[in-house]
Amino acid sequence: MKILLIEDEAKIAEFVIQGLRLAGHEVTHAQDGELGLASIIAAQHDVAILDLMLPKLDGFEVLQQAKAAASQMPIIILSAKVDLPDRLKGFDLGADDYLPKPFFVEELLARIKLLAKRTVPDEVQEISVGPLTLDVVTRHAKWFEMTALLSQREFSLLAYLARSPGHIYSRQQILKHVWDINFDPETNLVDVCVRRIKLKLDRGNSNRPSPIESVRGVGYRLRLEF
């Protein structure tokens, strides 16, 4: 894979680059946020690893501008900012994964491998359920007349619900499938992600029901009645 590393700390960058290259990946290094953003928008890499505390442009701003430019490149945040509000903000801005420092390069490699599996489209390139259409290749979702670009996590969650319309999936099940983590009673990652999806697909469809139904105390399901 072609990997973009956006990291200003030389020792950490050297450590990561060495580990990625030993695993057979091709790595490009950007030392500040402005260079990193330009490289993301150029779309010449398969995945980006993004630090948050960067010179010239911090990681949150890089992420926000990258998504505003409709970049579809998967982005993994690698940061010493480990508090829950920072992690939630990263996911809210469209990050596909969040790995706190200090870290093991083996775990970073495992997350890259998992993300790559989710990014490569299956033979099925389109999922349709009633007025909802999901484009597996471009990660665009169409709900009635509204079309929106979803992040990797948002698309994965919506596609997961679309596997069995009407079936209620618990937050534990969604966390395991979309984030590959076990249930954490203190996290609201699922609720935040669902809220982002609703905001994107409900825009301009105020007279339409949301494609995702919340089942109080249980979880979420894809709407059957439109």
Q: What is the pLDDT along the chain (226 residues), one digit of tens a residue?
A: 889 999 999 999 999 999 999 888 899 999 999 999 999 988 888 899 999 999 999 999 999 999 888 777 889 999 898 888 888 888 888 888 888 888 888 888 888 887 776 654 445 578 888 889 999 888 899 998 889 999 888 999 999 998 888 888 998 889 888 887 765 666 788 999 999 999 888 865 567 788 999 988 889 999 877 6
The alpha carbons of the chain give a radius of gyration, in whole angstroms, of 18
Q: Does 137 share its domain with 64?
A: no
Q: CA–CA separation, 207 vs 203, rounded Å?
A: 10
Q: CA–CA separation, 192 vs 90, rounded Å?
A: 11
Q: Does 88 share its domain with 141?
A: no
Q: Does 99 share its domain with 176?
A: no
Q: Does 90 share its domain with 168?
A: no
Q: CA–CA separation, 67 vs 73, rounded Å?
A: 9
Query: 91 to each of 71, 86, 106, 221, how far by Cα in Å?
Result: 15, 9, 22, 21
pLDDT, mean over the chain: 86
Q: Does 173 share its domain with 96?
A: no
Total domains in the fold of the chain: 2
Longest dimension (CA), the chain: 55
Q: Does 8 share its domain with 71?
A: yes
The residue among 119, 151, 179 that closes a domain is 119
Cβ atoms of 6 and 54 closer than 8 Å = yes
Q: CA–CA separation, 153 vs 91, rounded Å?
A: 8
Residue 198's domain spans which residues? 126-222
Nearest to 220 by CA among 151, 183, 173, 156: 173
Q: CA–CA separation, 63 vs 40, rounded Å?
A: 9
Residue at 128: amino acid letter: S
Work out the end-to-end distance of the chain between its first and last CA atoms, rounded to an integer number of angstroms: 41
Q: State if pTM tops 0.85.
A: no
Q: Does 134 share its domain with 109?
A: no
Q: Does 130 share its domain with 183?
A: yes
